[in-house]
Structure 1
């Protein structure tokens, strides 16, 4: 079992790196063809997507998890268990939000690379969920760990809403840039109120997914008993 998950985690981390690098290379070519001489703003935009951020965090979690298994660690440390919990929650929400709200929309990171898109939004999230459910060493977590999970998405939302109106989008020719349409207050009649409702809804979704993942950790099954490290 441990050897299997070493391989699964290494392959998963490698797939994510290839997907991010492939999309970045595609975007760089797209920006160059659009006449962008200095792509520094576009690069910052690229790494401001929650999908990219959550996948890079997932890559780190998978790589570290593989290293811990190779090193003989029997149980996740507390910090790594919370990190895995956070990554699992973010990737699950990435899977849900993209496939429910965004699949038919061309996102503004440049021409989309199809195979990379499927890895980042479908394959990698499913792998991370599988890893949480089945990998050995999962630690029994307290319910308070959910607050740690919510912290990053809230910080990302604040960063996005501050940066959005200050960023000139050369490609679209607008004086603002938002990574996803539902975060753009200029779309629709609700303005910032509608955006705030979306942010609250996604925060609740992330918290709900985190609660479900904590519940799984406390059940002590799937398929190996969890270590009773927290009440």
Structure 2
């Protein structure tokens, strides 16, 4: 572990800084520019709505877990294991889905563009590379993978129920009004399978890669 520690802690700190910076910039962007959120007329409502996005929640998870790792890379508990896997897989899904599916549907400007680049590109890359290089290793098992799946499923359930109430959805692939429940059910299944598949991929890699706590 010692040979990884000098680089691991500053890397975890760097990842946390970018993740939290991206969220902060996005909050400021929606506070000063209502154009992309015209359905929410008040500043407070627009800011609160930022946290309905899977991207923002995943960046927050990355920020919090990596602050904890920067302070104590040996930190270990079931909650930490689940949150860290949710953070790494969630931010990987964020990068994959945005860059392969959503990037062609949006045209951000100003602070929105800065937040988009940080939250969807820089943070996913740094977080995934950091996990591959440093880990921490030995924190992923079958139970952790299955429990971590509760995060995207809970987000999907919340998003669909809230969307039905307020008639607004954060992403086109969960917009029931535009696509109908059958299509959205398929889209949600794809996201869930991607998340769990990446979780089991992380389990396989965790057993083979070196890093902090490697056995």
- Indicate conservation of the 8 Å contact 1:51/1:120, yes or no: yes
Partner of 1:59: 63
Partner of 1:222: 210
- Indicate conservation of the 8 Å contact 1:137/1:226, yes or no: yes
Per the alignment, do residues 218 and 8 of structure 1 end up closer, same or farther by CA in structure 2, a change over 3 Å counting?
same
1:110 and 1:195 mapped to 2: Cα distance? Answer: 29
Partner of 1:172: none
What stretches of structure 2 of length at least 5 have no aligned partner? Answer: none
Partner of 1:48: 52
Give the TM-score, by structure 2 length: 0.87
Describe the SS at the equivalent of 1:177: coil
Aligned residue runs from structure 1 range 24-173, under 5 A: 24-31=27-34, 38-69=42-73, 73=74, 76-106=76-106, 113-135=112-134, 137-167=136-166
- Indicate conservation of the 8 Å contact 1:76/1:138, yes or no: no
What stretches of structure 1 of length at least 5 have no aligned partner? Answer: 168-175
- Indicate conservation of the 8 Å contact 1:139/1:217, yes or no: yes
Describe the SS at the equivalent of 2:176: coil
- Indicate conservation of the 8 Å contact 1:140/1:218, yes or no: no
Please give the per-residue CA displacement for 1:135-186, whole angstroms capped at 9, x wherever unaligned. Answer: 154225322221111101111111111111222xxxxxxxx11000111112
Structure 1 residue 111, shift from structure 2 partner: 6.9
- Indicate conservation of the 8 Å contact 1:183/1:195, yes or no: yes
Please give the per-residue CA displacement for 1:37-66, whole angstroms capped at 9, x wherever unaligned. Answer: 623332232110000000000000110000
Structure holding more helix per residue: 2
- Indicate conservation of the 8 Å contact 1:81/1:138, yes or no: no
Per the alignment, do residues 37 and 79 of structure 1 end up closer, same or farther by CA in structure 2, a change over 3 Å counting?
closer
Per the alignment, do residues 27 and 205 of structure 1 end up closer, same or farther by CA in structure 2, a change over 3 Å counting?
same
Looking at CA atoms only, which structure, 1 or 2, has the larger radius of gyration?
1
- Indicate conservation of the 8 Å contact 1:5/1:135, yes or no: yes
Structure 1 residue 68, shift from structure 2 partner: 0.7
- Indicate conservation of the 8 Å contact 1:27/1:110, yes or no: no
Describe the SS at the equivalent of 1:113: helix
- Indicate conservation of the 8 Å contact 1:84/1:132, yes or no: no
Per the alignment, do residues 37 and 19 of structure 1 end up closer, same or farther by CA in structure 2, a change over 3 Å counting?
same
Could you say what the CA RMSD is over the residues aligned between the two structures, in angstroms? 2.5
Please give the per-residue CA displacement for 1:69-95, whole angstroms capped at 9, x wherever unaligned. Answer: 3xxx3x744432332112111111111
Q: Match for 1:204 among 189, 193, 200?
A: 193
